[in-house]
Chains A and B, each alone.
Chain A
Amino acid sequence: MNIELITLLRAISGVLLFTLLLALMWLVWRDLKATEQQVSSGRRPLGRLTVVEPVGKTFIPTGQIYPLLTVTTIGRSPGSTIMIDDSFVSSEHAVIAMRGGQWWLEDRGSRNGTQLNDMTIAQPVIVTNGDIVCVGQKRFRIELEH
């Protein structure tokens, strides 16, 4: 048994193992950081507002999606959660908000009104999954997360 050679092999093995460990630690750390970013960037969207177009009796998503927040304001003003540059839309047109465990849709005194499933609303109403909200020329489908 060659003692010097084995000592050398043990030292090399130790260095390799240590390098391997560092590489793996770095990989785990990178993955965890990415996960953390993912969590903070997608901080609890409660649902989505999917822009749809009516085609016959059904609605087709256009591909535009907005996050639904606890208080989502829709209007022409730049401070709105969803800003729509459309002359039919008032600067503060409508708001969708969570109150008492329910989602409420409220018209904020707009000129042209807000429609829920093609019915103009006069006072705040409760909305649920799949409802179509129409603001100006834009229709949104409410998709809630559980």
Chain B
Amino acid sequence: MVPFARESQRIMLAILVGFIVIAIGAFQWAVIMPDSLNTRDDNPRAVERERRIVRGDIYSADGLLLAHTDVNDAGIVTRQYSVAEAWPGLGYYSMVRGAARIEGAFDTILRGDSAEAALSNRLLHTPIQGTNIRVTLDSAVQRMVSERLDGQAGAAVAISIPDGRMLGISSAPVFDPNSIDADYERLREDAAMQLLDRATERRYPLGTAIQPVLMIASLLTGQPLDAMIDNATEPVDLSDALSIGCAVRLPALSLTLREAFAFACPTPFIGATNAVGETAMNTIFEQVDALTAVRISGYESAAPAAQIRGYTPIEGMEAVVTGQADLTVSPLAMAILTGAIVNDGNTPVPFMLDATLAPGASTWVHAPRPTRTIAFTTATTARRLQDLMRYNVVNGAAQNAARPNIDIGGHVGLAYVDGRPMSWFIGFVTASGRQAGAVAILLEDTSDTGLAADIGGDILAAVHASLLAENP
């Protein structure tokens, strides 16, 4: 055998084995477990991909550009929100923080992740062009909602009836989505909880705003509306230091149930509900519970946890009747309830997405609208309750909501969260034909129900104008 042959052959084999080991190492990262690295947050490729997605624009129902995407020369995108009034409705989109509200609910459409676009992006890194969307928000109503909630903490929702279009939505205080990346940490730590969408994601106790529900039960069981009840203005004690009374300060009076409803006095309803009976009351509460499960169509991901409540025996009814028990609702649910009242007892299903414009397409395509409605009560009951609410605006605590030459009904209520007062206003406005609008307002940290009613009146007027403009 030639000298050196054995040694050099061993070295060669060692080197070849080394190459195979490296191939196995590469195989591990490239084929066996690539996702462990591809899905890491610090992988710049995910960011590169995201930075090149040109999200679709968002328009209001009347064609106002609410949000759009700027692309610079390097292909890097930034999201712009130019209409400040729409901020609380739009929510935000951030590469790092995700998306919320309209941006979050219709993220998939706005990103335009169609199968072809995603494949082309993955294979060739072509920028994905998202789909433009048109939402149902009416710019005039939205502006009114935002302006009137400015400086408050609370929420307001305006829905078109009977179709369920969301005309305006706001949650105050408001943050600027243009600077979400810089502000996010601060906003998240903020005691005012600005990131929380108070209109849809937060549940409040009903307080005396529960009275429309109680009134429906009373009407259904034929309780007398005009019988005088003694000590009607007496507050109901909630705890040692706290009691809940009428929406406006009244002397000790005897009132009819109709008047007690007009001034949102809780005491007479305790007797009334006792007369209605345990079974009927639990039935209507279950209906309210069912109502709280209704979301804006497409907003499923942002829904608050479903409420699980037990049967309320007659002894526990007092707490429920004053709206301070575990029956809680979002302002959106209150607007839907109001919508059911003005819609002859049928609950509307609200929706936000009006139409889409796919990249390259020239015409808007209407998004499918929810057709389902839930019967909440009978048409007769609903109409009688409408009249009672109109009476509230004319003669009761909701007077501030009255606007000349507009048919408005409403109801105010007081509630307490951890000893802090909250003011409710729900109201409706009718326009031509069956067209109507429903509004719910919630103001935190104030017992000034008159202010809530005043804001509600302005919004209802704006809704009325908007509806008339569509259908003169």
Contact = CB atoms under 8 A, between A and B. Distances in A.
Task: Classify A-B as touching or not with yes or no (CB < 8 A).
Answer: yes
Interface of A: 1, 3, 6-7, 10, 28, 32, 35, 39, 42, 44-45, 145-146
A144 to B, nearest CB: 12
B124 A42 contact: no
B9 A145 contact: no
Interface string B11-22: 010001000000
A68 to B, nearest CB: 11
Contact of B120 (A3, A32, A39, A146): A3
A130 to B, nearest CB: 16
B9 A6 contact: no
Nearest to A10: B123
B1 A145 contact: yes
Interface residues of B, number: 9
A35 B9 contact: yes
A6 B1 contact: no
A10 B125 CA distance: 13
A45 B6 CA distance: 12
B378 interface: no
B128 to A, nearest CB: 13
B124 A45 contact: no
Interface in B112-169: 120, 123-124, 126
Interface of B: 1, 3, 9, 12, 16, 120, 123-124, 126
Q: Secondary structure of the B side of the interface?
A: helix
A32 B12 CA distance: 10
Contact of B126 (A3, A44, A45): A3
Contacts of B120: 3
Contacts of A10: 123-124
Contacts of A6: 124
Contacts of A44: 1
B123 A1 contact: no
Contacts of A35: 9, 12
A97 B9 CA distance: 28
Contacts of B123: 7, 10
A146 B1 CA distance: 10
B126 A1 contact: yes
Contacts of A1: 124, 126
Given A1-B126, A7-B123, A42 B9 contact: no
A42 B9 CA distance: 13
A145 B126 CA distance: 67
B9 A45 contact: no
Interchain residue pairs A-B with the least CB separation, the first 10? A42-B1, A6-B124, A45-B1, A3-B124, A145-B1, A3-B126, A3-B120, A7-B123, A7-B124, A35-B9
Contacts of B1: 42, 44-45, 145
A1 B121 CA distance: 13
Contacts of B3: 145-146
Contacts of A7: 123-124
A120 to B, nearest CB: 32
Nearest to A146: B3
Given A3-B120, A44-B1, A145-B1, A39 B9 contact: yes
A145 B2 CA distance: 9
Nearest to A39: B9
Nearest to A47: B1
B15 to A, nearest CB: 12
A45 B5 CA distance: 13
A44 B5 CA distance: 11
21 contacts: A1-B124, A1-B126, A3-B120, A3-B124, A3-B126, A6-B124, A7-B123, A7-B124, A10-B123, A10-B124, A28-B16, A32-B16, A35-B9, A35-B12, A39-B9, A42-B1, A44-B1, A45-B1, A145-B1, A145-B3, A146-B3
